[in-house]
Amino acid sequence: MQGPLIDTLVRQGIGRRTFLKYCATLASMMALPPAAGRAMADALAAARRPSVIWLPFQECTGCTESMTRSHSPTIEGMIFDMISLDYHETLMAAAGQQAEEALHAAMKENSGKYLLIVDGSIPLGIDGAYSCIAGRTNVDLLKEAAAGAAAIVAMGTCAAFGGIPKAKPNPTGAVAVSDIVKDKPIVNVPGCPPIPVVMTGVLAHYLTFGSLPELDDKLRPTAFYGETIHDRCYRRPFYDQGKFAKTFDDEGARKGWCLFELGCKGPVTHNACATTKWNGGTSWPVESGHGCLGCSEPDFWDAGGFYKALSMPADPLKMGAAAAVAGAAAGVAVSFANRGKKRAAQVTHETTTLADLEK
Amino acid sequence: MDALELLTWARGPGLNIALGIFVLGVVWRLIEIYSLGRRTDLAPARQHAGASGLHTVLRRSVPPPGMLRSSPVSYIGGFVFHIGLALIVFLFAPHILLIRDLTGLSWPALPSQFIDMVTVVTLVAMVVVLVDRINKPAKRFLSTFGDWFTWAVTFLPVLTGWMAVQHLLLPYTLMLALHILSVELLLVVLPFTKLIHAFTLFGSRWYAGRINAHKGVPV
Amino acid sequence: MTATLERGLHALKEVIDAPIASYFSSCVHCGLCAEACLFYTETGDPRYTPIHKLEPLRRVYEQEYTLLGRLKKGLGLSKPVTDAELDAWQDLVYDSCTMCGRCSLVCPVGNDIVYMVRKLREGMAASGHVPDGIRNATRRTVEIGGPMGLKWPAVANVIRKVEEATGLKVPVDQAGADYLVLLSSMEIVNYPEYIEALAKIFHKAGISFTVASDAFEATNAGIQIGNSDLAKVIVSRIVDAAERLKVKRVLSPECGHAYMAIRWEGPNLIGRPYAFEVVHVLELLDELRGKGMLKMKSKIKDPLILHDPCQIVRRGGVLQAPEPLIQEVAERYIPIADKQKWNWCCGGGGGASAIHTEEAEALRAKAFQVKKRQIESTGVNTMVTFCANCRIVIEEGFDHYQMDTRLLGLTELLAEHLEE
């Protein structure tokens, strides 16, 4: 299936008009100038499908599920279909020896040009033995595949930041792609799972401009991760008015008030859920009545509990009583010393006479 | 360590340590201060309406005659920023949640936008009292490092809290972390600086009221 | 010749207590006490800020009675209180503090600053950093009997003259009298009219009284210099005489600090309650007035204002008596703005008037401006007061500023207009 993308799309019943609209939307989401939509459309239409190698490591396949199933009828899904996905364990028909051959063939053929997508974290404990494919550790595979990649997309929070496998106490010694690969451009697309349009947006940008989009300090595309959930949340006015749901089934919850007190991590979570929503714009967690878990942020799993508001202590306070006792002990000790000193001063008081006024 | 980790540390171990030191310090200091005791006054007491420790505890919150006119900035600025701090600390929804989590007590919050306005007013008042401290000869003369330091550690939590909510200068996560850390700094230094007046003020007023009430003078 | 820094610090260690610890811990350096101190308001010199006058005491407190202060001291990180420093502080603790206690009234955190000054003076006295004037007054009081060196024969002489002038008997050393009348040297020397007034009032009211030949002096330079041992020696004379003569009440004269010494400090100095009651002369007069036993034959016509002596009113608690009494005798009593417990000090209390250095006198004159303004703002030229020390200091102030204001003693004024 070679040839320009637009031909494939047309063959699948996607008209040019629909495609243009998609590109314009994508461009605006990525905060590109309006003209970029057409440029993107032109570039994408003419683009040859790049070779993409998808390596799954310590993961739950949720990212793949997100990419494929939930968006299968959409353009994002189409585009995704249209890339030359040369290796994806879950999706490819081949298995075993065949699959490995396909991987190595693709790496050799497109050396220096292919896009490497990684989902899942990389375990480093006991020499990486926690996760192996074809007898080789994830860290080995990643290093090999990264060597010939043009760029790497770390798909999902596990690949981007270590994710759930890295949650305390991190038994497998899981790390992120960026902890291992230091010499290739990396784009982190965190989320558990990430939003499909973010993925296609990054690809579209890469295909259109031949470069990766603008990234923030955590290597996330600023177009999607530049603002917090809280910034864009439709429930934000309730926060400002101080109207909070106190439980999941109270009056406030029914009225759709702010979920801050129920532990929503929207204020510290950078993602596009509030604008793109999920399942083709149907809904998203906050809209469905649950606070944001902060899944696109590093170590979200250990950020003090999903149902604890941000202003609440992350850990139970253990030191209060002990501190009070220690303080009382210190105070009593000082007070004994003080009283002793004062009594001593009073006992040794020498009565002043007139002569004692003279120096 | 990234911003969220810093925030999680500030909300977790940081808060634990800070509150621990705060509780330890306050208990220790209060025992240290009040265990010194005082001699009973052997002179027969005189009674006078309005003369007692409690009266003075309350009365000293009101400017004495003529003082408001001679030191308007001290009184008005002082009132505004103390009341502002109290409103912010005790009536901002996220803070009430913290208190609820620590003590189990909670009460209704004020709208965030109102707290926001109070915060701006408080910040302005604090800057004004600082300028007053620099301008007024007696204040400037008395001021030591401790005075500038305690001003700063009181100002910082208000400023960082406001900037976090307003999304100014730094990303919210980092600003929130800095806000909580600045509060922790405040908690840690409070027992060992003049900020302990938040507690001893009541003891001092009570003593003054008591000692003078013995002579029948409502002070 | 034994006043030393060690003795001074030792004395401070003895007197530091929980209120002092609380006060120093509470001070936020707001400087509002300065606004209440006439030495600051009239000079604008921030050194005179009341709380600053206590700096040596604060450091001794911190270094001796706080854990952190002890640690810092142990590590040599804190600045010890030195002789030189106490010497430099002498003018702040004595010359520029009259212990008027106005600062104690305004402190927003409730610090009783004058309470602390009184205690700091214990250390200043024990370390020998006291003005010569007060030291000499103390010596004369202890050695001779009064701050002015007055002896009984001279007093007896004045009493005889009073008896001649009034034709009334002034009993001496008469056991079982209702009242033991105390006097202050200043009254004996400068205002013998006060004794005449008292004799008249007592006779009129039919109350028995006596003067003790060994305890006529009410003033107590010991509490001014700030030495409890000497103050105790002085106050014990009165206590002994009163208990020997078995009087019911001891009458404190108008003099402010005498009242403070005998009424409030005395029992604490001797370590036990008295077997008698102490009453200020105004309290007695007000009591008589209440009983209708203080009838005036005439009233003074001139408009007049009242100067409330600090140690009697603000610090002594005689709050209610003065106004009704002056209204009894004055047709046009004009209440001033800062009256009663808010009154401004004459500038010479707490022993300050005994300091006769050039600087102290110049400072006193400057501080008197507040009184001058107070008087001028009312536009009257008669002022009444009830403290011999205030009278002398105010008269000096009038001289200095060449004011033609007339100053009267309240008791005398009442006696003068008393129904025959």
Q: Domain limits at B28?
A: 3-36+65-213
Nearest C-alpha in C relative to A333: C67
pLDDT of C180 strictly over 50: yes
Helix H, strand E, coil C: the string for C205-262 is HCCCEEECCCCCECCCHHHHHCCHHHHHHHHHHHHHHHHHCCCCEEEECCCHHHHHHH
The pLDDT confidence band at residue A75, using thresholds 50, 70 and 90, is low
Strands A122-123 and A174-175: antiparallel
Question: Buried b / exposed e across A7-20, counting CB within 10 Å, b at 16+?
Answer: ebbeeeebeeeebb
Helix (H), strand (E) at residue B75? none
Of B24, B29, B94, the CB nearest to A326: B24
Percent of chain C with pLDDT over 70: 100
Q: How many CB atoms lie within 10 A of CB A103?
A: 24
The pLDDT confidence band at residue B167, using thresholds 50, 70 and 90, is confident
| B window 28-47, beta carbon within 8 A of C | 28-29, 32-39, 41-44, 46
Torsion A98-A100-A101-A107 (CA) sign: positive
Judge if ipTM > 0.90.
yes
What digits encode the pLDDT tens for the residues B173-183?
A: 899 999 999 99
Supply the mean pLDDT for chain A.
86
Helix (H), strand (E) at residue C384? strand C382-385
Q: Where in chain A is the domain with CATH 3.40.50.700?
A: 50-225
Domain match, C33 and C111 both: yes
Domain match, C273 and C155 both: yes
What digits encode the pLDDT tens for the residues A291-314?
A: 999 999 998 998 888 998 888 888
Domain match, C103 and C195 both: no
Q: Average pLDDT in the A61-65 region? A: 86
C307: DSSP letter: E
Domain match, C366 and C304 both: yes
Q: CATH assignment of A50-225? A: 3.40.50.700
Homologous superfamily of the A227-339 domain (CATH): Cytochrome-c3 hydrogenase, C-terminal domain (4.10.480.10)
Domain match, C101 and C153 both: no
C415 vs B113: CA distance, rounded Å: 70
Nearest C-alpha in C relative to B214: C317
Give residue B193's pLDDT: 96
What digits encode the pLDDT tens for the residues B127-136?
A: 999 999 999 9
Give residue A44's pLDDT: 72
C376 vs C360: CA distance, rounded Å: 24
pLDDT of A24 strictly over 80: no
Last residue of a domain, one of C288, C318, C335: C288
In a domain, B181, yes or no: yes
In a domain, B53, yes or no: no
Query: Which SS3 state, helix, strand or coil, does residue C184 take?
Result: coil
What digits encode the pLDDT tens for the residues A104-128?
A: 888 888 888 888 999 999 999 999 9
Pinpoint the alpha helices (H) of chain B.
3-9, 15-34, 53-59, 67-70, 72, 78-91, 93-103, 112-135, 137-142, 145-166, 172-189, 197-213
Q: Average pLDDT in the C195-209 region? A: 90
CATH of the domain at C67: 1.10.1060
Chain B contact for C412 (CB, 8 A cutoff):
no
CB B143 within 8 A of CB B194: no
Chain B contact for C279 (CB, 8 A cutoff):
no
Torsion C265-C267-C270-C274 (CA) sign: positive
How distant, in Å, are the alpha carbons of A120, A121, A274, B2, B57 from that of A161? 9, 8, 22, 11, 55
How distant, in Å, are the alpha carbons of B98, B100, B111, C94 from that of B104? 9, 4, 21, 54
A294: DSSP letter: -
Question: In chain B, what's the furthest Cα-to-Cα distance?
Answer: 67
pLDDT of A73 strictly over 50: no
Give residue A82's pLDDT: 61
Domain match, C349 and C386 both: yes
The pLDDT confidence band at residue A48, using thresholds 50, 70 and 90, is low
Nearest C-alpha in C relative to B192: C68
A7 vs C58: CA distance, rounded Å: 89
The pLDDT confidence band at residue C352, using thresholds 50, 70 and 90, is very high
pLDDT of C282 strictly over 90: yes
Q: How far is C102 from chain A (nearest CA, A)?
A: 29
Q: How many CB atoms lie within 10 A of CB A332?
A: 15
Helix (H), strand (E) at residue C356? none
> Tokens representing C138?
């103390």
CATH of the domain at C375: 3.40.50.1860
Strands A51-56 and A84-88: parallel
Give residue C405's pLDDT: 94
Sheet bearing A186-189, strands edge to edge: A84-88, A51-56, A114-119, A149-155, A186-189
- How deeply is B69 buried, as exposed, middle or buried, from its count of CB atoms within 10 A (0-12, 13-18, 19+)? exposed
Give residue A225's pLDDT: 92
A258 vs A242: CA distance, rounded Å: 8
Q: Which of A30-39, A302-311, C238-247, C307-316 has the lowest mean pLDDT?
A: A30-39
pLDDT of A26 strictly over 90: no
Reported as half-sphere exposure (CB side, CA atoms, 13 A), residue C40 has a value of: 24
Q: Average pLDDT in the C278-287 region? A: 95
Q: Domains in chain B: how many in total?
A: 1
Give residue A72's pLDDT: 42
In a domain, B82, yes or no: yes
| Touching chains, A (3+ CB pairs < 8 A) | B, C
If one compares C319 and A321, the residue with the highest pLDDT of the two is C319
A68 vs A77: CA distance, rounded Å: 6
Q: Do A338 and B93 touch (CB under 8 A)?
A: no
Cβ pairs B/C, distance under 8 A: 173
Chain C contact for B5 (CB, 8 A cutoff):
no
Q: Average pLDDT in the A285-295 region? A: 95
pLDDT of B24 strictly over 70: yes
Residue closest to A84 by CA, chosen among A109, A50, A107: A50
What digits encode the pLDDT tens for the residues C380-399?
A: 999 999 998 999 999 999 99
What digits encode the pLDDT tens for the residues B104-138?
A: 899 999 998 899 999 999 999 999 999 999 999 99
Give residue A1's pLDDT: 40
Give residue C418's pLDDT: 86
| A window 161-220, beta carbon within 8 A of B | 218
The pLDDT confidence band at residue A203, using thresholds 50, 70 and 90, is confident
Domain match, C109 and C143 both: no
Q: How far is A331 from chain B (nearest CA, A)?
A: 4
How distant, in Å, are the alpha carbons of C274, C282, C345 from that of C178? 15, 16, 33
Q: Average pLDDT in the A202-230 region? A: 86
Chain A contact for B35 (CB, 8 A cutoff):
yes
CATH of the domain at B15: 1.20.950.20
Q: Which of B32-36, C136-140, C190-194 has the lowest mean pLDDT?
A: C190-194
Domain match, C141 and C284 both: yes
Q: Do B136 and C31 touch (CB under 8 A)?
A: yes
Q: Average pLDDT in the A202-228 region? A: 85
Which of chain A's residues have a Cβ under 8 Å away from the Cβ of B93?
A: 242, 244, 260-261
Q: Average pLDDT in the B56-74 region? A: 93
Q: Domain limits at C173?
A: 135-288
Q: Where in chain A is the domain with CATH 4.10.480.10?
A: 227-339
Last residue of a domain, one of C129, C151, C168: C129
Residue closest to C311 by CA, chosen among C356, C276, C270, C280: C280
- Beta-bridge partner residues of A53: A87, A116
In a domain, B121, yes or no: yes
| A window 313-352, beta carbon within 8 A of B | 313-315, 317-320, 322-324, 326-328, 330-332, 334-335, 338-339, 342
What digits encode the pLDDT tens for the residues C238-274?
A: 999 999 999 999 999 998 999 999 999 999 999 999 9
Domain match, C281 and C156 both: yes
The pLDDT confidence band at residue A87, using thresholds 50, 70 and 90, is confident
Domain match, C248 and C308 both: no
In a domain, B41, yes or no: no
pLDDT of C160 strictly over 90: yes
Residue whose tokens read 């306005």: B117
